[in-house]
Structure 1
Amino acid sequence: MADTEVSAPPPVTAQEEEGHLTVLTRDLHVTYRVYEDRRPRMKDFLAGGLKRPSYREIHAVRGVDLEARSGEAIGVLGHNGSGKSTLMQAIAGLLPASKGEVYASSQPNLLGVSAALSKNSSGRRNIVLGGLALGLSREEIAARVDDTIEFTGLDDFIDLPIRTYSSGMRARLHFAIATMVEPEILLVDEALSVGDEEFKERSKKRIDRLRDQAGTVFIVSHSLGSIRDLCTRAIWLHKGLVREDGTPVEVVKSYKKYLKAIKEGGKSEGPGAAS
């Protein structure tokens, strides 16, 4: 498997008035193996030793061509197993491409609902650790701590260990930490879906501010309302392929029509190994 390239995109042309190119994928494929979790049986030994574990290959992303520009907030939707999270991890350089190329103008910052936090440390301590990991000095972190805590809405819990937090509280904290700086490319994978309406409104303002600073945001969500409200563009991913790319209103309308047809037809696209 070839390593994913995360490097500077091709030069910007005069026609690219809507914003400079920040992310580019060319014929991107991501395939990985899922091994069976099966215990060896006595007859396997008697038959002449153990066989190698069997597996199946998951072709999670299939030839995706994508361009993203500064100032865009791009919603990514699709059913479970459509390759959304895999695509985000490939763009972030966390998964290797089996074929194709990925270019980014700077290192993408991937924020997921299951993102790692120090569970035994308090929310306040995690803000400090997260700020240091983002390259901020202790003085810069100290100047931003109060604003970050206010954004999370975790005043009564900020000095309690993370292990006592709900998934929504952890998501709020991690989003606040990730946006203490203004990354040029932010990938948000379902982290906004677990927040309440007040948090979503605060998140929208922060995403708008990031876009105003010529940033690019990808938002993976099953919440079609969030895609419509937060994004300037939407991509429908289906079985690893881009099925539609357009305005949020148009893409959400097409996707809802598809879901209705599936429901009326009695068919199910059941969840797959990739999401």
Structure 2
Amino acid sequence: MTPIKQILLALLALYVSASLAQTAPTVAAASDLKFALEEIAANYKVDKGQEVRLVFGSSGVLWQQVKNGAPFSLLMSADEAYIDDLYKNGLTVDKGNLYAIGRIALLQKKGHPIKLSTDKDGLIRAITEAKKIAIANPEHAPYGRAAKEYLISMGAWDQAKPKLVFGENISQATMFALTGSADFAISALSLATSPQVQSQSTSVLIPDQSHKPLIQKMALIKNSASSAIDFYQYLQEPKSRQIMSRYCFIAP
């Protein structure tokens, strides 16, 4: 092969790579979806030969970024209210689709001496023994709001409040517990039961009646990449739903 042909082939490869990157949709997703969505995206690449770019954060922050014009194609929120607001403001293609109901759990690093329990006496005892307790910031993270609601419903908010450290999202709050920066966290069940986290931690499921339901909704953003529609539909196929179920998301 002549040097000129080698250069032309290299330029063609760069062009194709750049074209694929331009068409790959950017999916903005709540942090509780991290492991489940990464697995779904990997399957999508195998099944469809297409890539998606994943951006994780708290739903409230991602919602605000959409309103400020962030180039997201799809928003997967942990709170349906953020999608409803975007639709009312004309920023989504339609009202969106409910994709899951989330759950929360107490989580601590494996081997930690504090005994976790979701009943009032056990929770108060754990809070008393703890120096720091991690939750996602309830100002903009739905899982943080659910954690606050749980503590209030158990009559433990005032006791826990001085010890709280806030993660920007539920993944960061969980990481605080895994690294020992907090004695325990109120995490997402989808994270607590993932192989990546479960190998390092122990967790206890929190009764769902102790907080408002975490109804999670997704919607395509107006003027998004056309390739996002295909991934949006793929998320609703049985194969993807099975993965969501395996990560303990309840089908709505």
TM-score (norm 1): 0.26
Higher helix share goes to which structure?
2
TM-score where L is the length of structure 2: 0.27
